Amino acid sequence: MARKFSFKGGIHPPHSKKKTEHLTIEQFPAPQKVIVPLSQHIGAPAKPLVKKGDRVLAGQLIAESSGFVSAVVHSSISGTVQSVGPFPHPCGKKVISIEIENDGLNEMAVFSPLLNWRDAAQGELVQKIQAAGIVGMGGASFPTHVKLSPPSNKTIDTLIINGAECEPYLTADHRLMLERTEQLLTGILILKKILSAQKCFIGIEENKLDAIQAVTPLLKDQKYREIKFARLKVKYPQGGEKQLINAITGREVPSGGLPMDAGCVVQNIGTAVAVCDAVIHGVPLFERVVTVCGPVVKHPKNYLVRIGTPLRLLLEATETDLSAAKKVIMGGPMMGTTQSDLDAPVIKSTSGILVLDSVQPGVREHPCINCGHCVHACPVHLIPSRLAKFVEKENMEEAVEWNIMDCMECGSCTFVCPSKINLVHFIRLGKFRVQAMRAAKAPGK
Ligand code: SF4
Ligand code: SF4
């Protein structure tokens, strides 16, 4: 029996993937209008390069990055720029975006392929990825070129590809592993070459048997032999960077540290496929796979969607019963963000749209009974019950001492709490307060 990799802590929520895991990715029609935000990534927003009245092509650069930690933005359709201004964004606020009216021609920009990527210098490969506007597509949306440019004092020896997709309902990565297997593996080899990583793993949760059966035979091929398969136990949050690193290498990312502090870089499945498209074909990131699912979605789907497509259109196409919907979430139910405006668009980090017909209970339903379940569930070894109490009492110094800032907001503690205390709500609030305190104390304030 092959070894199964895992980490300490975690939970087993229902997978709820049955409705979409076998559904082939379908191209979602390009909409009449897209709203392409300038901020779809962690870091500085991009700066627009177009203005009202300009004609643009699908895949054309329309906004440049405004710093190293920033990502360029491309048009996802051909058409005419209607405006550049504030529009609804999945973060819940209005964000400067480029509104483009579709001309129905689907005219593509000219892309520059790089067929001999093995002969290219590492810097040239990173430049192609940066020019394609690629960001982490698993939800974190950190610009990929930054992750691939570690400081010179950090040695990366291991690349890990996250095929866990441990959030319930989401199946976008699962389908990519099945339907774009060769592109995925090529993308991984490109990433490995850039990092000069000696070791490279693709970790897949063992419940995705067909994905394992699609990927592993190819790893015997001479071309892909450098990539090793790691069978992951089914557990949430198996796809967390620190949990994956620990499960596969046995290393711990230090408190407050990054994967590179453990000699690792973790990339997501969708990101690796996008890297292949960008480097080999020169195609920038202007569409992505989105799972649309949930109890009131009549026809769940895995769609390939143009960035900037309003969420409302996806829900209409799937005949979602919005009158029965209590909550719309972008991402999965554990770490996704609640959506209040269905005119907000799909962005580069949108892995799924989930529509639920019930909501979580209130913030504190019953007193804590000191059962310790939250402590056992926490994948980063925190004491969630204690942290929540510190936050309630506004004792932020103690909360910091007990490592509140290491919380990855996975929601496992809330999930297991028999008293139905929304622990992650308190901890998120506490982290926000600590950040505000630190910002107030920063030089120049
Ligand atoms: S939300 Fe934070 S405190 Fe709760 S289990 Fe996850 S990492 Fe631990
Ligand atoms: S799981 Fe809930 S009831 Fe149990 S110790 Fe943690 S906060 Fe208290």
What pLDDT does 272 receive? 98
Going from the C-alpha of 98 to that of each of 6, 139, 182, 218, the distances in angstroms are 43, 22, 34, 41
Ligand nearest, relative to CA of residue 236:
1
Residues of the chain with pLDDT under 70: 1-2, 360-364, 443-445
CB distance 98 to ligand 1 below 6 Å: no
What pLDDT does 360 receive? 65
Rounded Cα distance, 143 and 135, in Å:
4
How far does residue 374's CA lie from ligand 1's centre (Å)? 8
How far does residue 379's CA lie from ligand 1's centre (Å)? 7
Which strands make up the sheet holding 73-74, listed edge to edge? 47-48, 61-64, 73-74
How far does residue 380's CA lie from ligand 1's centre (Å)? 7
How far does residue 167's CA lie from ligand 2's centre (Å)? 22
Tokens standing for residue 375: 């402590």
Tokens standing for residue 242: 């620190």
Rounded Cα distance, 233 and 214, in Å:
18
Nearest CA to ligand 1 atom 8: 378
Dihedral sign, Cα of residue 26, residue 30, residue 32, residue 34: positive
Residue 299, H or E segment: none
Nearest CA to ligand 2 atom 6: 374
The closest alpha carbon to 97, from 106, 86, 108, 107, belongs to 86
* Boundaries of every domain in the chain: 4-20+112-281, 373-441
pLDDT in tens, 309-336: 999 999 999 999 999 999 999 999 999 9
Q: What are phi and psi of 306, to 5 degrees?
A: -70, 135
Going from the C-alpha of 2 to that of each of 12, 79, 204, 233, 377, the distances in angstroms are 21, 52, 13, 11, 25
Q: Which residues line ligand 2 (CB under 6 A)?
A: 368-374, 385, 416-419, 421, 423
Question: Where are the strands (E) in 295-437, listed by range?
Answer: 301-306, 327-330, 337-339, 352-356
How many CA atoms, within 13 angstroms, populate the side-chain half-sphere of residue 427? 25
CB distance 399 to ligand 1 below 6 Å: no
| List of residues 6+ apart from 298 with CB closer than 8 A | 318, 319, 320, 321
pLDDT in tens, 32-60: 999 999 999 888 999 999 999 999 999 99
Going from the C-alpha of 53 to that of each of 79, 81, 84, the distances in angstroms are 10, 5, 10
| Top-level class of domain 4-20+112-281 | alpha beta
Spell out the alpha helix ranges (H) of 23-171. 122-131, 144-147
Spell out the alpha helix ranges (H) of 180-220. 181-195, 209-215
How far does residue 408's CA lie from ligand 1's centre (Å)? 6
Ligand nearest, relative to CA of residue 374:
2
Task: State pTM to two decimals.
Answer: 0.93
Q: DSSP secondary-structure letter at 429? A: H
Going from the C-alpha of 92 to that of each of 137, 190, 316, 401, 411, the distances in angstroms are 19, 35, 21, 31, 20
Pick the atom of ligand 1 nearest to 414's CA.
4
Nearest CA to ligand 2 atom 7: 385
What pLDDT does 359 receive? 73
- Other beta carbons within 10 angstroms of residue 138's beta carbon come to 25
For residues 409-427, b (16+ Cβ closer than 10 Å) or e, as one string? ebbbbbbbbebebbbbbbb
CB distance 407 to ligand 1 below 6 Å: yes
CB distance 382 to ligand 1 below 6 Å: yes
